[in-house]
Amino acid sequence: MKLIRPALVLFAALTLVTGVAYPLAVTVVGQALFPAQADGSLIVRDGELVGSRLIGQSFTDPRYFWGRPSATGPMPYNGGASGGSNLGPANPALKQAVEDRIAALRAADPGNARPVPVELVTASGSGLDPHISPAAAQWQADRVARLRGLSPARVRALIAAHTEGRQWGWLGEPRVNVLALNLALDAAR
């Protein structure tokens, strides 16, 4: 058949171009222009790899800011198994999870009667969300300040320093990087 040879040759050639040459070219250019980003925006503290700016970590100690709940298994913020809860809006399991998270937040900060920002009680899509909203950070500021013996103003200043606005003033949402904020808290001792 006259169609077999073109099919085989073009498939092989285009596979080499798009499957080998293309990713190699992107790697070479990407690594040359943006080496830190291409390797995962890693954070090294005292010579130890402590994480990535882009990948959230689980914080359950009330002395730290807590991030989004994470639905990854078997442990939260498992970088090897990203994903969300996929619970539907009417699923009783979702309501139960939200109630449990509210209870844990209230138990860690009994004096705080304000409504809980929605992000602190809902699991992120990736299970690795590195951010919370400024509202969710402010909600936790007094607790963190009290337990660390820092002034609330100092903690709020740290939040403000780690708040990113909408990109270009327009895109996405304002947010606070939880890992970066908590590392700054540890350094503020």
Partner 1 sequence: MTTNAYAQLALYLALLGLLAWPLGRYLADVMAGRSRVVTGPLGAVERCGYRLAGVDPAHEMDWKRYALALLLFNLLGALFVYALQRLQGWLPLNPQGFGAVSPDSAFNTAISFVANTNWQGYAGESTMSHLTQMLALAVQNFLSAATGIAVVFALIRGLARHGAATVGNFWVDLTRATLYVLLPLSLLLAVVLVGQGVVQNFQADRQAQTVTTVQYQRPLLDAAGNPVRDAAGQPRTETVTTRAQTLPQGPVASQEAIKMLGTNGGGFFNANSAHPYENPTPLSNLLQMLAILLIPAALCFAFGREVGDIRQGWAVLAAMTLLFVVFALAAIWAEQQGNPGWRALGVDQAAGAWQAGGNMEGKETRFGIVASALFATVTTAASCGAVNAMHDSFTALGGLVPMWLMQLGEVVFGGVGSGLYGMLVFALLAVFIAGLMIGRTPEYLGKKIEAFDMKMVALVILATPTLVLAGTALALLVEPGRAGILNPGGHGFSEVLYALSSAANNNGSAFAGLSANTPFYNVLLGLAMWFGRFAVIVPVLAIAGSLAAKPRLAVTAGTLPTHGPLFVLLLIGAVVLVGALTYVPALALGPVAEHLALWAR
Q: Is 183 among the residues that bind partner 1 (CB under 8 A)?
A: yes
Residue 137 CB, nearest distance to partner 1 (Å)?
9
Closest by CA position to 180, among listed 188, 172, 171 = 188
Q: Is 158 among the residues that bind partner 1 (CB under 8 A)?
A: no
The two structure tokens encoding residue 62: 């009330």
Cα 180 to Cα 45, 70, 101, 120, 127, distances in angstroms: 11, 18, 23, 18, 18
Q: Is 160 among the residues that bind partner 1 (CB under 8 A)?
A: no
Q: Is 153 among the residues that bind partner 1 (CB under 8 A)?
A: no
For 72-75, the CB contacts below 8 A with 24+ separation are 72/127, 72/128
Q: Which of 65, 122, 142, 145 binds partner 1 (CB under 8 A)?
A: 122
Q: Which of 62, 65, 109, 136 binds partner 1 (CB under 8 A)?
A: 136
Closest by CA position to 60, among listed 77, 45, 46, 47 = 77
**Residues in 57-116 at the binding interface with partner 1, rule: CB under 8 A:** 57-61, 64, 68, 74-92, 94-95, 98-99, 102, 114-116
Which residue's CB is nearer to partner 1, number 30 or number 146? 30
Q: Which of 40, 104, 142, 148 binds partner 1 (CB under 8 A)?
A: 40
How many residues sit close enough to partner 1 to count as binding (CB under 8 A)?
109
User: Cα angle at 52 between 26 and 150, to 5 degrees?
Assistant: 150
